């Protein structure tokens, strides 16, 4: 008898409604009992629930997903179904050792878990209350495949399984199978670490791979208790740079509360071990992860001042430079180091860093420092001038009198000096910087692409205050041939918002330019709708873009069309066409959301929305229902419907609800549901969840570990949305993401502009 038929019979014995009937006899085809006598009682036909449970455990792909959705609906209201699923958590059937998969269900207990999670509060409650003890025991099963797939199942559950975190940690450190340990570490990262000192102790494991995996997690934890610092400090002696750096990062996260003299001293020893005794250009790395040692010192407070000051005697000028910057970041608590910093003013390799640090620690007598900067500005060599311009922007009011001298370098023959002077404007007080708009406008046609780019970037930073340059930016955009500069000019106009209205004609001419990258054309669409949502030129350009061959351009055009005010008939009809007839589901969904955004302006589309709302595409039907509420005049009334959709049995509805949530404003209370949706597996679900989490901002701090994971996702849009969300959450909660953001930028996994913006936000909120 096939194994899955036996499973059906067994399941049937535990899932009947009400009082459980006696199970029917199991009939094996070749047994004597298999009689054709008419008097032999026939086994009852399996119920629909039994059939679904059988499909759950024997099918894969679409059939299994259908069973999951249907069972989740049953489990939401039927206790017997929940009990049956709970019983399936005991089933040890797996796809085999090494066969776990991040987006595919690979064991019976994982399938049952997914159903219970999708069944809403009652399903999750029974999973946490009664299911976790079963899974906890599975972590120590004699079969390594069972242990591996159990760990994977806990990863699927996520933070709700944190009560099992200590057992997972034990598996990470003690299991004899390396594959089991690897999956357990993945699960621990997702579930959350409840025993940070215990995790820190794994940095001392005899297994190199265990130490490495522990380092990957502990270096990005959002919270590290003081009790872990002494264990972390000992790891600073490790021969492996990765271990040392991770330990330092975690010590830095512990901050002043966990700071000890021993830890600070050991970090300084690690610096001496990691950096060459004298500067070697062949070994120097601008993005050396060992600079994290100095970041840790800067977060430890006053106790780090003496050992950091000692580093000013190091023979490697990179170390001295980093030490001065660290003392400056420590600020007034490092004022005791002022004498040593002042002595460094005469150090020929780091004088300007010393001048800046002297100001930052609160030294009042800055006369010598200012003279030093002023002298460097007058140098005939380019590099001292460039360094002095950077220093001027960092010494506050003391350097204000040097601003005219710096700005004179906007006409410098040396392009690097012009570039530095252009960047300096971006560091000025906004009102003062805005006065330099005419000068920046001239630089939009500089012969050097980098300077044109920098001028655009500074104008973007000034935003609407630099609106008088909008027309010039639009003209420069039409003439520009450098791809990166063109994209920056578009970003500049986006930052100007409605003040960019004089550039509408210039922007409209770019919508159909096939020489522009698709991301750049999408930005053009965004800039247009921000600049003038009421103009005929904007509407015409968006209608044109909605017919583009590229799906992403059509999707962006649909989103923008919903923001037109008024909404012309041809624009509304275009949205209806996209909703009903586009070949891509994501474009159809964008059109539905756009009609929702348009609200009462889209009433002419009511009949079409009603038709879609009763259609066979669950996600799109859900969005159409939301739109029908919105066109009556108040989209906020759809809030309840949208939030109910976050826990719907259908994964496509959950993804659609996460997208729609942006329209009513996601809240901190939505974070757990959004994190779960980000694990649904589809790019649409992950993207929608990441964007919504970014909208929550600092209140989404519990989502930071998952967003860090998404920086390594296979889809560029998902990675970018995760990076933006981390920037919006800000420091200190999202500070652990900084190394991963830098890695993603180095690996071209996210656009440079997205990475820079996220890092800027994190550094700003950290101050």
Please tell me the predicted confidence (pLDDT) of residue 38: 47
The H or E element spanning position 9 is helix 3-12
The mean pLDDT value for 91-117 works out to 92
H helix runs in 202-285, sequence order: 208-218, 229-235, 241-258, 261-274
Mean pLDDT, to the nearest integer, of 163-188? 96
Q: Is 669 exposed, middle or buried (0-12, 13-18, 19+ CB in 10 A)?
A: exposed
> Which structure tokens are listed for 286?
């601008």
pLDDT bracket for residue 403 (50, 70, 90): very high
Mean pLDDT of the 235-247 span: 95
Range with the largest mean pLDDT of 284-288, 355-359, 398-402: 355-359
What average pLDDT does this structure show over 26-37? 38
- By the 8 A CB rule, do 694 and 723 touch? no
Distance, CA of 451 to CA of 413 (rounded, Å): 13
Question: How many angstroms separate the Cα of 728 from the Cα of each of 192, 460, 690, 735?
Answer: 22, 18, 11, 11
Q: State mean pLDDT over 756-765.
A: 83
pLDDT at 33 over 50: no
Q: Which two tokens stand for residue 249?
A: 């990062």
| Average pLDDT estimate for 634-642 | 89
pLDDT score for 636? 87
pLDDT at 45: 62
- For the cut 60, the answer to whether the pLDDT of residue 13 exceeds it is no
* pLDDT tens per residue across span 199-227: 999 999 999 999 999 999 998 888 899 99
Average model confidence (pLDDT) for the chain? 90
User: Looking at residue 118, what is its pLDDT?
Assistant: 83
Tokens of 455: 């001028």
> Does the pLDDT at position 522 exceed 80?
yes
**SS3 of residue 358 by DSSP:** helix
Q: Is residue 228 scored above 60 in pLDDT?
A: yes
Q: Are 646 and 657 in contact (CB under 8 A)?
A: yes
Beta-carbon count within 10 A of 505 CB: 14
Instruction: Compute the radius of gyration of the chain from its Cα atoms.
Output: 31
Q: With 60 as the cut, is the pLDDT of residue 2 above it?
A: no
> Any idea where the domains of the chain sit in the sequence?
3-136
Chain center to CA of 493: 25
Question: Per-residue pLDDT tens for 181-196?
Answer: 999 999 998 888 999 9
> Nearest CA to 256 among 728, 732, 737?
732
Determine the pLDDT at residue 763. Answer: 78
Mean pLDDT of 252-280: 94
In angstroms, rounded to a whole number, what is the distance separating the alpha carbons of residues 337 and 253? 24
At residue 500, does pLDDT exceed 90?
Answer: yes
Lowest average pLDDT, out of 38-42, 264-268, 758-762, goes to 38-42
Show the CA angle centred on residue 109, arms to residues 107 and 110, nearest 5°: 65
Mean local confidence (pLDDT), 391-406: 93
Provide CB contacts within 8 A for 673, sequence distance 6+.
Answer: 643, 646, 647
* Lowest mean per-residue pLDDT among 13-27, 412-426, 737-751: 13-27
pLDDT tens digit sequence for 661-707:
988 999 999 998 998 899 877 888 999 999 999 999 999 998 888 89
**Would you state the pLDDT for residue 766?**
54
Tokens of 14: 């535990």
pLDDT, tens digit, 9 for 90 and up, residues 106-162: 999 999 999 998 887 889 899 999 999 999 999 999 999 999 999 999 999 888 899
CA atoms of 655 and 641, how far apart (whole Å)? 14
Per-residue confidence (pLDDT) for residue 93, from 0 to 100: 94
pLDDT of residue 465: 96
Mean pLDDT of 628-647: 90
H-type alpha helices, 614-650:
618-630, 639-645
Bridge partners of residue 13, in order along the sequence: none
Assign 112 to helix, strand or coil. Answer: helix
CB 464 within 8 A of CB 433: no
Kindly tell me the burial class for residue 425, based on how many C-beta atoms sit within 10 Å of its own C-beta (0-12, 13-18, 19 or more).
Answer: buried
CA distances from 741 to 102, 698, 713, 752 (A): 22, 18, 13, 10
């Amino acid at each position: 008898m096939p194994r899955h038929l036996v499973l059906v019979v067994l399941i049937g014995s535990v899932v009947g409604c009400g009082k459980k009937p006696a199970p029917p006899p199991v009939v094996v085809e070749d047994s004597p009992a298999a009689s054709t006598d008419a008097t032999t009682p026939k086994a009852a036909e399996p119920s629909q629930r039994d059939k679904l449970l059988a499909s759950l455990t024997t099918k894969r792909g679409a059939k299994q997903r259908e069973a999951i959705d249907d069972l989740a609906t049953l489990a939401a209201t039927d206790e017997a179904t929940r009990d049956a699923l709970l019983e399936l958590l005991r089933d040890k059937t797996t796809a085999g050792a090494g066969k776990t998969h991040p987006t595919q269900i690979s064991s019976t207990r994982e399938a049952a878990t997914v159903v219970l999670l999708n069944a809403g509060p009652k399903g999750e409650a029974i999973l946490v209350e009664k299911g976790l003890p079963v899974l906890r025991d599975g972590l120590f099963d004699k079969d390594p495949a069972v242990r591996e797939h159990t760990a994977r199942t806990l990863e699927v559950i996520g933070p709700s399984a944190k009560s099992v975190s200590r057992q997972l940690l034990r598996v990470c450190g003690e299991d004899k199978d390396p594959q089991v340990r690897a999956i357990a570490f993945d699960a621990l990262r997702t579930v959350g670490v409840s025993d940070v000192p215990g995790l820190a102790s794994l940095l001392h494991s005899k297994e190199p791979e265990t130490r490495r995996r522990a380092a990957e997690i502990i270096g990005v934890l959002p919270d590290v208790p003081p009790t872990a610092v002494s264990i972390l400090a000992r790891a600073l002696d490790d021969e492996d740079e990765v271990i040392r750096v991770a330990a330092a990062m975690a010590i830095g996260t512990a901050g002043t509360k966990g700071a000890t003299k021993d830890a600070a001293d050991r970090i300084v020893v690690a610096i001496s071990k990691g950096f060459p005794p004298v500067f070697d250009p062949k070994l120097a790395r601008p993005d050396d992860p060992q600079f994290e040692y100095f970041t840790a010192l800067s977060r430890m407070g006053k106790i780090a001042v003496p050992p950091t000051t000692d580093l000013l005697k190091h023979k490697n000028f990179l170390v001295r430079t980093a030490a001065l910057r660290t003392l400056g970041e420590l600020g007034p608590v490092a004022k005791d180091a002022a004498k040593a910093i002042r002595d460094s003013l005469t150090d020929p390799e780091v004088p300007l860093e010393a001048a800046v640090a002297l100001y930052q620690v609160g030294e009042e007598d800055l006369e010598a420092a200012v003279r030093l900067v002023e002298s460097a500005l007058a140098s005939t060599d380019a590099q001292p001038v460039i360094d002095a311009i950077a220093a001027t922007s960092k010494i506050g009011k003391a350097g204000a009198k040097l601003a005219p001298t710096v700005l004179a370098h906007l006409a410098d023959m040396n392009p690097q000096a012009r570039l530095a002077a252009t960047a300096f404007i971006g560091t000025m007080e906004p009102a003062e910087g805005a006065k330099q708009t005419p000068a920046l406008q001239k630089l939009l046609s500089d012969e050097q692409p980098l300077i044109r780019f920098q001028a655009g970037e500074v104008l973007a930073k000034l935003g609407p205050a630099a609106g008088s340059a909008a027309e010039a930016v639009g003209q420069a955009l039409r003439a520009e041939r450098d791809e990166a500069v063109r994209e920056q000019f578009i970003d500049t106009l986006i930052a100007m918002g409605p003040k960019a209205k004089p550039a509408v004609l210039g922007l409209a001419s770019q919508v159909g330019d096939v020489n522009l990258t698709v991301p750049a054309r999408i930005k053009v669409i965004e800039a247009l709708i921000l600049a003038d949502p009421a103009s005929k030129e904007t509407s015409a350009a968006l209608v044109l873009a909605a017919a583009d061959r590229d799906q992403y351009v059509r999707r962006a055009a649909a989103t923008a069309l919903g923001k037109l005010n008024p909404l012309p008939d041809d624009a509304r009809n275009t949205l209806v066409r996209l909703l009903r007839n586009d070949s891509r589901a994501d474009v159809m969904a964008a059109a539905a959301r756009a009609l929702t955004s348009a609200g009462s302006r889209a009433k002419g589309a009511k009949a079409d929305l009603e038709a879609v709302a009763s259609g066979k595409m669950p996600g799109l039907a859900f969005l159409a229902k939301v739109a029908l509420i919105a066109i009556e005049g108040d989209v906020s009334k759809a809030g309840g419907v949208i939030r109910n959709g976050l826990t719907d049995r259908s994964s496509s509805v959950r993804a659609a609800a996460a997208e729609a949530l942006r329209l009513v404003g996601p809240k901190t209370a939505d974070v757990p549901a959004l994190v779960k949706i980000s694990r649904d597996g589809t790019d649409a679900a992950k993207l929608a969840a990441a964007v919504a989490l970014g909208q929550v901002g600092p209140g989404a701090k519990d989502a930071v570990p998952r967003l860090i994971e998404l920086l390594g996702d296979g889809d560029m849009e998902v990675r970018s949305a995760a990076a933006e969300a981390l920037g919006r959450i800000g420091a200190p909660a999202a500070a652990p993401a900084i190394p991963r953001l830098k890695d993603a930028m180095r690996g071209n996994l996210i656009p440079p502009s997205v990475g820079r913006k996220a890092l800027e936000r994190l550094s700003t909120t950290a101050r």
